[in-house]
Structure 1
């Protein structure tokens, strides 16, 4: 009699069976098969060394720990008990060069660990998997094969740890929920994240993917708005808003001297910005950007309707910074006559202007046109915002501004866009 391929690593394994549902494990042809109902209780650990197949009639509820050392295929139900936080799945693939994670039915995990050293990638993902807890990308690159049905979804509250060049997702990653999120994405052996601030709604859904390749063949760099001097020729990102998602978020892209052209980082990256391919205009447009040299990031308040293809670019020096405009980014509305409102010196010279201010979650809290023309200045209260009541006092903290104004140079008008941090002390 052949030995069943199941290793009980603690003393409890509870198999739930009811009515005509059956549960079976088979070591024939080096495969572990589940055809019925399997419930793994908390504090129970099981493992399968051979390939695992959860058939269409299979129903696995994992509130314990399940280790997979061979390939994984799910055609039935694989999930955990709602509100239970003990479910843990481990993919180690010790007997495979590349561990396959496949199947036509979605798999829902709470915590999951990927731990397998390999070559270009260690895991081939063609299953739709999601996590509500912690994704530990300890070792091995996950190739997310979207064309063959793969999906890697982080649900509300889900996070990832240990992400690096040797452990990330090569392909599209989805994020659902109203959390800040840094996409654990990369390509070509490099971890090159993009990040979004918290969306407005829990149901909001954004995807992110990184490409270590020149965007020029698909999105010609000769088609660019005035002021864009040089576009990244080695990498780009796709950050998309999925159906039924509305609102806006802050978008952050990172730079890395190993992948980002050195010409873009000249002058301490002062002229580095985020640019977006505008499909309606067939043109690269400047989305602005706030430089954080310590983190090697550029952040811009990005309008959701403008999501799609992004990359980094260098602006023509001083193209977006006429010297007569001076912005004071500290606001202390305490009535002492100093910085009681958001001061933009000489903005009155350019009445065709707009000012928008966002909180740290990317939600617009103030907007106006023809700034400082009739007392319409930002004093630490919301105004003309769909997210807050007019006149609502805003908390102390860091905000972001976008200033756009029409500037005429040698009788040629053009729109200037500036963005940056704004600190509010609102006692």
Structure 2
């Protein structure tokens, strides 16, 4: 026979909230319910539960103690929230009505844990996990996480079952996060990455190759990193490389005010945090140097080679001597300058090649709307 328990616990002292102290004599049986209106101090095993454990009322509730309680169904309807000073696990359903399960972000070993078949309903901006959520033995999972104000989920799709994965959202600058134990230099990045968000980031742990889907909204201030939503990319701080890495994009939709993206596959534990960045524009990526041309058939600098021109499909190169006389021109340059003039201008001793000295170049990459100028030294 199933035992039905309905236990309603109220704080009677308005100055100092009371607590339920579990020393091992509580169990929720099938179809049973226990309603917490006060703190729970769990100092004994509390893991053979069925039925519903609910957290209610208008006063903040704290769960603490030496043992992690494991509930079957869990419900929260408390606008002040439930603070976890010890972890909580749930076996079946979590029903978010109002109020957050709150974990102190500096204590990353405290989290609300969804076990193998656990799921949730009702998550929203005022009811979610404000801090760390974890999952056991699930391959794909959407973490119902955020901060005090907003729901900012991360969708994890893994190649295999995650024995354990964990995630939290931070509405903080990665350059100086007050509640994360590390700072991240936003300038440590390859040239192909443009501006990196200083507004928000996610901390994700996991060992299985996975893709993630994350979204942005007006508060994300995406306009600070790009003027075109199609240039948004996910980036992660490489733990071994100590630099930002483009995690790749397989899906992207939205505008500067709202949208989402899905990354390429990566191993979460390779990266300390994840956030948004922009793809660097060609103008940010490309810098042209000064060049040396030594056409002596030794295989080194025998012709003018400008590798950046391979990024353009509509370029022009013009070379002038120090007197401003055009000596060489080519559209869609293909490494043709070897020290000989090809212009129609009058060139002294054209057949033996241009004399050694300084020459100036002008390059236009018309399709990229880029223009460059510099000099080259021709040495025979």
- 1:298 lines up with 2:257 in the alignment: no
Q: CA deviation at 1:198?
A: 4.1
Distance 1:87 1:187, change over 3 A: same
CA contact (8 A) 1:137 1:168 kept: yes
**Structure 1 residue 55: Cα displacement:** 3.6
**Aligned partner (choices 243, 267, 279) of residue 283 of structure 1:** 243
Partner of residue 323, structure 1: none
- In the TM superposition, 1:355-394 aligns within 5 A as none
Structure 2: how far apart are the matches of 1:199 and 1:133? Answer: 23
Aligned to 2:43, which of 54, 68, 75? 75
Alignment-derived partner of residue 313 in structure 1: 277
| In structure 2, C-alpha distance between the alignment counterparts of 1:185 and 1:154, rounded to whole Å | 13
Q: Indicate if the aligned counterparts of 1:112 and 1:135 stay in contact, CA closer than 8 A.
A: yes
Equivalent position to 2:200, from 235, 244, 262: 235
**Secondary structure of 2:265's partner?**
strand
Task: Name the SS of the counterpart of 1:302 in structure 2.
Answer: coil
Query: Which residue pairs with 2:190 in the alignment?
Result: 225
| Aligned mate of 1:130, from 89, 92, 112 | 89
Structure 1 residues 61 and 45, CA gap change in structure 2 (3 angstroms): closer
State the shift of 1:185 in Å: 1.1
Instruction: From the superposition, tell whether residues 108 and 114 of structure 1 become closer, same or farther in structure 2 (CA, over 3 Å).
Output: same
1:248 aligns with 2:213: no
In 2, Cα distance between equivalents of 1:62 and 1:148: 32
Q: 1:53 aligns with which of 20, 45, 56?
A: 20
Structure 2 residue 126 is matched with structure 1 residue 162: no
In the TM superposition, residue 53 of structure 1 has moved relative to its aligned partner by 2.9
User: Taking structure 2 as the reference length, what is the TM-score of the superposition?
Assistant: 0.65
Shift of 1:152: 0.9
The verdict on how the C-alpha distance between 1:42 and 1:226 changes in structure 2, with shifts beyond 3 A counting, is: farther
Give the gaps of 5 or more residues in structure 2: 12-17, 177-182, 284-306, 312-380
- Count the aligned residue pairs: 272
Deviations 1:153-201 (A, max 9, x none): 0111212222122112121111112242111111241211111014513
Instruction: Tell me which residue corresponds to 1:4.
Output: none
User: What is the root-mean-square deviation in Å for CA atoms of aligned residues?
Assistant: 2.8
Aligned ranges 1:127-206 → 2 under 5 Å: 127-145=86-104, 147=107, 150-201=110-161, 204-206=163-165
**SS of equivalent residue, structure 2 residue 224:** helix
Contact 1:71 1:93 (8 Å CA) reproduced = no
Tell me, yes or no, if the aligned pair for 1:59 and 1:76 is still in contact at 8 Å.
no
CA distance in 2, matches of 1:410, 1:224: 23
**2: CA distance, partners of 1:281 / 1:144:** 30
Partner Cα separation in structure 1 for residue 3 and residue 44 of structure 2: 21
Unpaired runs of 5+ residues, structure 1, are 1-13, 15-40, 320-407, 413-427
5 Å matches for 1:345-424?
409-410=308-309
SS of aligned partner of 1:181? strand
Q: Deviations along 1:53-78, whole A, 9 cap, x unmatched?
A: 34434352443111111111111121
The Cα offsets for residues 356-379 of structure 1, whole Å up to 9 and x where unpaired, read as xxxxxxxxxxxxxxxxxxxxxxxx
Equivalent residue, structure 2, for 1:92: 56
208-217 vs 143-152, which deviates more?
A: 143-152
Relative to structure 1, is the Cα distance of residues 260 and 111 closer, same or farther in structure 2, using a 3 angstrom cutoff? farther
Which 4+ runs in 1 deviate beyond 4 A?
A: none
> How far, CA to CA, are the matches of 1:92 and 1:188 in structure 2?
18
Cα distance in 1 for partners of 2:28, 2:108 equals 25
- After TM superposition, the score normalised by the length of structure 1 is 0.58
The structure-2 alpha-carbon separation of the partners of 1:184 and 1:177, relative to structure 1 and needing over 3 Å to count, comes to same
**Using a 3 Å threshold, how does the CA distance of structure 1 residues 318 and 205 change in structure 2: closer, same or farther?**
farther
Residue equivalent to 2:317: none
Separation in structure 2 between the aligned mates of residue 143 and residue 72 of structure 1, nearest angstrom: 14
- Output the CA distance in 1 between the equivalents of 2:37 and 2:148: 26
State the distance in 2 between where 1:307 and 1:112 align. 32
8 Å Cα contact 1:275-1:285 kept in structure 2: yes
